[in-house]
Amino acid sequence: MMKHLSWSIALVALLACGFVSSAWAQATAQVSGTVKDQSGAVLPGVEVTATQTATGVKRTVLTNETGSYVLSNLPLGPYRLEAALPGFRTFVQTGIVLQVESNPVVNINLEIGQVSEQVEVQADAALVETRSTGVGQVIDNVRVLELPLNGRQVTDLIILSGAAVGGGDQGTARTWPTDFISVGGGLNDGLTYLLDGGTHNDPFSNANLPLPFPDALQEFKVETSAMPAQYGQHSSGAVNSVTKSGTNAIHGDLFEFVRNKIFNARNAFATERDGLKRNQFGGVIGGPIIKNKLFFFGGHQTTIQRSEANIVVSYVPTPRMLAGDWTAVTAPACNNGQQINLASPFFNNRIDPGSFSKAALTLVTKYLPHETLDECGKTVYGRRQNSDEQMTVGKIDYQINETHSLLGRYERGTLFTPNNYNGQNILSLSIPDYTRRFHSFVLGDTYSLSPQTVSAFRGTVLRTLNDKSLIQDFYNYSDLGVKNLYYPAGWKHFVRLNVSGAFTQDVSAPGVTNSMVEQFTEDLTTLHGAHQIGFGANYIHSNMNYTSGTWTAGRFQFTGNGTDRLSLGDLMVGRPNEWRQDQIAAQYLRQNYIGLYLQDTWKASPKFTINGGLRWEPYFWPYDHRAASAQYNKTWFDQGLRSTVYTNAPAGILFPGDPGAKNIGTSEHEPAWLHFAPRAGVAWDPKGDGMTVVRAAYGIFNDYPHFQGIGGIRNTPPRGGLIQLTNPSGGFDDPWQSYPGGNPLPFAISKDVAFPLGGTYTVIPQDAKTSYVNQWNFSVQKQIGMDWLVAGNYIGSSVIHQMYEHEANPAVYIFNGTNTCRLANGVTLTGPAGGNQCSTNSNTQQRRVLSLQNPAQGQYFSNIVEVDTGGTRNFNGLILSVQRRRARGITIQGNYTYSHCIDTGYTDIIQTNGVMVPERRGANRGNCELDRRHNFNMSTVYETPQFANPFMRVLVTGWRVSGIVRALSGPMFSINTGIDRALTGTTFNPTNPQSDQRPNQVLPSPYMPDKSIANGWLNLAAFVQPALGTYGTMGRSNIVGPGSIRIDMGLVRIFRVRERQSLEFRAEAYNVANHVNACSSLSGQQGAPACMDTNLSDATFGRILAAADPRIMQMALKFVF
């Protein structure tokens, strides 16, 4: 493999030195067109010059033999375009504003006359896109600066671009807090983020690193669907952002934004307003170091937040329940109208308190809240959301001469977020203390090799440092009296605990995640006749050093399976349905990415443009810097093959170096070399006037999974040694009681290390593929007048080999009509006395496929989680949009998307449990996690005009109004059984949205007749549990949750201090109407409360559990100069 990799890197270097460039857009723009005389004949040799009016920077090209010109890789901003040829009057057009990745066509007609004579036109370029094949939207500087942004997070503007939905589930909080967004039905982690032409993705999760704050960001473009071959690495789309630059004049501002609870409304689930206090302050400045030559820009923002938002509703045992009386909590009033009758040791819903688990009693009496709001045990609390953030950005632009320019940009950030314990209710603790830091540096070089050829280089370095720990002690399971536990020395005390439908205290474990990315790209664009040809190469090396003790503190899960539908009952009698624990493990992943492309944009005729391209990007799987991963093959198990690398490894598990295993060293898989991605598109201008265009395009896009996607490998023996015990016989008080030899943790890794019984394995099969996407679109754009653009776009995509997971060692349901089954392997299964079932959750391990085949070797395996690349996803969407660029003080941007996304399942991280058996992949095909059928966005900014009348000038001039309206149909939910009714051992946990075990629907409608956030959403009577050993008939993700409507507004009053100085007073309100929207505003992020209880076994089934932010107001003062 290394031989091939070295060859590839050498090829990239050769191409880069010779003539090749990166596939990546360089965060610039271009102007192109054709120059003709008055008779319509083309004019070669015309000198066409673009001058950036703010800096005086110039670029000059000559038209070729077809009269065509292209001014590529131009910095953004306002331009003056000139065309001169002896014997003709000089043509001048001002008012052209270039936006990121825009490709305006400006055709020029020269009139006969003297060069000293000028024909001047004041007009911006046309709005229609006649060259690029993708579907995109620019979020310009006016919107970035003036729209009301909650928390001043510019990533919120991505979802305003159309066909974009946020809130994707994040399996970890080890990245900078952000939003996981699906654009155009693409993968949640499939966006390519670029900042100033350099990569800006965190390799750990593929999430974006922080973009500059609004005052330091010029603009960005969101683009998706069948983009040209210059785009690669990720498949969903690209977010191309540009920081501000200095100009020939000193410009900048100082600002402070303030929030305080006195301005805010109360969350619908809270008893009082949260204690929010937020201060964001800083400033930016930019200007010339040498006029027309060297420019600087810098800025800083500090954010200090103190809050107790994120309202959570939980249920805990009441004093009456602790006294043994459970009649109130099992009554219909606490259980969606149904009576619960608890099983033994309860009798008539009463119990002798002496039957309670000692660990459970200690937990409830010493740590859990004692005061409840009702007999159901309801408790409401807020989770602290404190943070201290520092963001700094600096940029230098150097115009060496008219053919050569340099830029350098550095961005850094630090973020400290303490744990979210509110100081009163221990259940508020769900995340530890985080310290996050990042650095981003880009060096750019743009050089005109000739009047027709431009080269652009980018070198990028990213560095992230994330430390996760607890600063203070709370309690661990040993503090509760749980026996025989392993707990790392030096760790602060905490627990991971899930009591389904009641409360969760699942605190993320300590760990360190540091990553480094180096990227080199080189881009060459040349004009040859009617062809604009681009060549590209891109090399990225990523590495990540990761330590984790995901389950090292131990994790109990209670589902109500033991006492019949009441998880609090299971907790108090000490009957967990699962106990899991591992030891601290580490990963040192490295990965190389290479992409080469060739792109041709051919102006076949004045009305017809053809795009064609080909991209090659072989896939190199990550490799571990220090350790090789286990390989599993069922055939090896059948043959009894054993490892010689680790002599105690069970049959079926081999490692590189073992006979029969793939000799891939420390790589996770063999490289895939034949990854070619063709792209094609056409654009037709029916009238040839650049005011209407019809476009169609198709392309194949490969995707590049993030490191965390295969994170479960680090927990695979002998590294992490994750062990999962179903229904441990020792219960809550002594989970290791029946484990042979007792608790095996921790163990030292060596050649003869003992492999644990019931170990959990995450493995990559050697026939695994990587995802690729077919994308296509058809669009019509029409410019109306000078400033309006309307468009209709159809976009579609089909994902092949979508990465998911399946269970390779499920338990088999065995039934003979009695409570005793004698198996062929000599094992006897015994169920409850007097019953007719011999298969139970307690004997899951004995019923697993490998245990049935070979009990001696099968006992070493519990779940075998195999990466499954047989998944698919399909998306079809219609996007209607309208845009009015800024004119006479007003700008408008709106879009509506009607779409549908279907897939076979998606997860952010593959680990712990295979969720489904591979035979049920088709049965699990349903709506995508972020499928939203209707998606409407509208934003506008209006500034009042300058009045001549003194009275009107004082009263009306100087006001700016902005607003955002967003309406979204409801998210899709899966209804889960909440317990392992199929008895396959494939239920990860009750909150897993991708659960394969679902109930039967017995009523036509699953919803409450008066469904609402207050009254409940789902009708319990519409569902029943499937028979034991079977799967329910319901599909995945086919329940529609509540939709959302939100209106944000901003009002600014501007006072002119001097000609170039002003003072701005700003007031912003988010959710102005105080509309109650379901689901937390932090939906998808770790620590966010669940939106709706979808576990049929829970007492709170069907209820909405959290609401988004109420009306929040923000005040600001800004000095602009």
One-letter-per-residue 3-state SS of 491-510: CCCCCEEEECCCEEEECCCC
Q: Which of 206-220, 691-705, 949-963 has the lowest mean pLDDT?
A: 949-963
Residue among 660, 629, 668 at smallest CA distance from 642: 660
H helical segments located in 1012-1070: none
Tokens of 1100: 């709170």
* 508 or 7: which leads in pLDDT: 508
- Tell me: cis bond preceding 735? Omega within 30 of 0 counts: no
Answer for the pair 688, 36: CB distance below 8 angstroms, yes or no.
Answer: no
Q: What is the pLDDT of residue 848?
A: 96
Q: Which of 786-800, 877-891, 980-994 has the lowest mean pLDDT?
A: 980-994
Q: What is the pLDDT of residue 271?
A: 77
Residue among 1044, 1042, 1022, 1040 at smallest CA distance from 1032: 1022
Answer for the pair 381, 360: CB distance below 8 angstroms, yes or no.
Answer: no
How far from chain centre, in Å, is Cα 483?
40
Q: Which of 640-644, 687-691, 853-857 has the lowest mean pLDDT?
A: 687-691
Tokens of 1005: 């409608």
Q: What is the pLDDT of residue 326?
A: 96
Residue 800 scores a pLDDT above 70: yes
Q: What is the pLDDT of residue 11?
A: 39
pLDDT tens-digit profile of 703-762?
A: 988 888 888 888 889 988 889 898 999 999 999 999 998 999 998 889 999 999 999 999
Q: What is the pLDDT of residue 200?
A: 96
Answer for the pair 1044, 967: CB distance below 8 angstroms, yes or no.
Answer: yes
Q: What is the pLDDT of residue 183?
A: 93
DSSP strand E in 275-372: where?
Answer: 277-290, 294-306, 312-315
Mean pLDDT within 184-205: 92
This prediction's pTM: 0.91
Name beta bridge partners: 678: 614
Please tell me what DSSP assigns to residue 323. Answer: T
Per the listing, tokens 């010339």 go with 288
Q: What is the pLDDT of residue 1067?
A: 96
Residue 7 scores a pLDDT above 70: no
Residue 259 scores a pLDDT above 80: yes
Give the whole-angstrom CA distance, residue 1031 versus residue 1035. 11
Tokens of 891: 């700008």
Give the whole-angstrom CA distance, residue 325 versus residue 346. 10
DSSP per-residue codes, 223-237: EESS--TT--S-SSE
Residue 516 scores a pLDDT above 60: yes
Please tell me what DSSP assigns to residue 364. Answer: I
Q: What is the pLDDT of residue 34?
A: 92
Residues in contact with 83: Cβ distance below 8 Å, sequence separation at least 6, in sequence order: 35, 46, 47, 48, 49, 90, 91, 108, 110
Task: Tell which phi-psi region holds residue 900, choosing left (phi > 0), alpha (psi between -120 and 50) or beta.
Answer: beta
3-state class (DSSP) for residue 709 = helix
Give the whole-angstrom CA distance, residue 193 versus residue 222. 9
CB count within 10 Å of CB 261 equals 18
pLDDT tens-digit profile of 751-765?
A: 999 999 999 999 999
Residue among 124, 137, 33 at smallest CA distance from 786: 124
Answer for the pair 316, 372: CB distance below 8 angstroms, yes or no.
Answer: yes
Tell me what the pLDDT averaged over the chain comes to.
90
Q: Which of 435-449, 568-582, 709-723, 986-1000 has the lowest mean pLDDT?
A: 986-1000
Query: In the chain, what are the domain boundaries?
Result: 2-122
H helical segments located in 584-682: 634-639
Q: What is the pLDDT of residue 1084?
A: 58
Question: Exposed/middle/buried for 340, CB within 10 Å: 0-12, 13-18, 19+?
Answer: buried
DSSP per-residue codes, 819-851: SEEE-TTS-EEE-STT-S----GGGHHHHBHHH
pLDDT tens-digit profile of 421-459?
A: 998 999 999 889 999 999 999 999 999 998 889 999 999
Q: What is the pLDDT of residue 49?
A: 94
What does residue 361 show for φ and ψ, rounded to 5 degrees?
-65, -40
Residue 46 scores a pLDDT above 90: yes
Answer for the pair 810, 986: CB distance below 8 angstroms, yes or no.
Answer: yes
Amino acid of residue 615: R
Give the whole-angstrom CA distance, residue 51 versus residue 71. 11
pLDDT tens-digit profile of 70-120?
A: 998 899 889 999 999 988 999 999 889 999 888 889 999 998 987 777 777
Per-residue H/E/C for 19-66: CCCCCCCCCCEEEEEEEEECCCCECCCCEEEEEECCCCCEEEEECCCC
Give the whole-angstrom CA distance, residue 813 versus residue 1026. 14
Amino acid of residue 366: K
Question: Exposed/middle/buried for 92, CB within 10 Å: 0-12, 13-18, 19+?
Answer: middle
Q: What is the pLDDT of residue 686?
A: 93
3-state class (DSSP) for residue 685 = coil
Percent of the chain past pLDDT 90, that is, above it, reads 66
Q: Length of the chain, please?
A: 1121
CB count within 10 Å of CB 636 equals 19
To 10 degrees, the CA torsion angle through 854, 855, 861, 866? 30
* Residue 362: C-alpha distances to residues 320, 477, 554, 579 (Å): 16, 10, 17, 19
Q: What is the pLDDT of residue 44?
A: 92
**Strand bridging mode 723-726 / 578-581:** antiparallel
Please tell me what DSSP assigns to residue 1078. Answer: B
Residue among 360, 330, 551, 990 at smallest CA distance from 368: 360
Q: Which of 173-182, 377-386, 432-441, 688-697 has the lowest mean pLDDT?
A: 173-182
What does residue 255 show for φ and ψ, rounded to 5 degrees?
-150, 155
Residue 699 — very low, low, confident or very high, per pLDDT cuts 50/70/90?
very high
Residue 632 — very low, low, confident or very high, per pLDDT cuts 50/70/90?
very high
* 549 or 1067: which leads in pLDDT: 1067
Residue 779 — very low, low, confident or very high, per pLDDT cuts 50/70/90?
very high
Q: What is the pLDDT of residue 783?
A: 94
Residue among 130, 1106, 218, 43 at smallest CA distance from 687: 130
Mean pLDDT within 686-707: 92
Percent of the chain past pLDDT 70, that is, above it, reads 96
Amino acid of residue 449: L
Tokens of 772: 């690729």
User: From edge to edge, which strands make up the β-sheet containing 90-98?
Assistant: 58-62, 47-52, 77-84, 90-98, 118-122
Answer for the pair 783, 691: CB distance below 8 angstroms, yes or no.
Answer: yes
Tokens of 744: 């095996």
* E strand or H helix at 405: strand 404-417
CB count within 10 Å of CB 918 equals 14
pLDDT tens-digit profile of 810-840?
A: 999 999 999 999 999 999 999 988 899 999 9
Q: Specify which of 68-72, 133-137, 890-894 reaches the highest per-range mean pLDDT.
A: 890-894
What does residue 138 show for φ and ψ, rounded to 5 degrees?
-90, 130
Answer for the pair 297, 244: CB distance below 8 angstroms, yes or no.
Answer: yes
Residue 6 scores a pLDDT above 70: no
Answer for the pair 453, 525: CB distance below 8 angstroms, yes or no.
Answer: yes
Residue 1102 scores a pLDDT above 50: yes
Task: Tell which phi-psi region holds residue 1103, choosing left (phi > 0), alpha (psi between -120 and 50) or beta.
Answer: beta
Tokens of 41: 């004949």
2-122 adopts what CATH topology? Immunoglobulin-like (2.60.40)
Residue 991 scores a pLDDT above 60: no
CB count within 10 Å of CB 311 equals 22
Amino acid of residue 127: L
Residue 932 scores a pLDDT above 80: yes
**Strand bridging mode 531-548 / 68-74:** unpaired
Please tell me what DSSP assigns to residue 747. Answer: -
* E strand or H helix at 17: helix 2-18
Q: What is the pLDDT of residue 515?
A: 95
Mean pLDDT within 271-282: 86
Q: What is the pLDDT of residue 366?
A: 95
Residue 994 — very low, low, confident or very high, per pLDDT cuts 50/70/90?
low
Q: What is the pLDDT of residue 993?
A: 54
R_g (Cα) of the chain, nearest Å: 31
Residue 21 scores a pLDDT above 80: no
Mean pLDDT within 354-382: 93
Answer for the pair 9, 16: CB distance below 8 angstroms, yes or no.
Answer: no
